[in-house]
Amino acid sequence: MDIPVSGFMYASDGSDPMHSHRMYITSWDGRPVHVHSFSGITSFEDGHSHQYAGTTEPAPTGVPHNHRYFTFTSVDDRHRHQIQGVTGPAIPLPNGGHYHEFNGVTTVEGARPHRHFYSGRTSL
């Protein structure tokens, strides 16, 4: 089954040697797409916590959906962790718009290997 996708491609900043371009999707199956920002602070483990922030991957507007997300934490105690997952479903707001809840566990990193828990809500 083919799903029509439209958007545009642009040159990358060169920071990823495996990719020479990026794609920005503007519609999926004829529907406009949208993203959400997310940020927070991880749980306090092994004597420290980390901050994180990112933007979800695009998803269709106006239909039930989730978003994938991926980012790295701040560097604290000489290491960082990876955060990735899929948000929960859209939670509608009374005046329009919606947000998503997310939660998970970071990758295991550090001189004393450990992980952190995180949770939050995306922007509207």
84-102 pLDDT tens trace: 999 999 999 998 899 999 9
Closest by alpha carbon to 33, among 52, 59, 53? 59
List, in order, residues 6 or more apart from 6 with CB less than 8 Å away: 25, 26, 27
CB 116 within 8 A of CB 79: no
Distance of CA 63 to the CA centre of its chain: 19
pLDDT greater at residue 5 or residue 65:
65
Q: pLDDT for 2-22, tens place per residue?
A: 766 555 566 666 666 666 666
pLDDT at 61: 87
Q: Would you say the pTM of this structure is higher than 0.85?
A: no
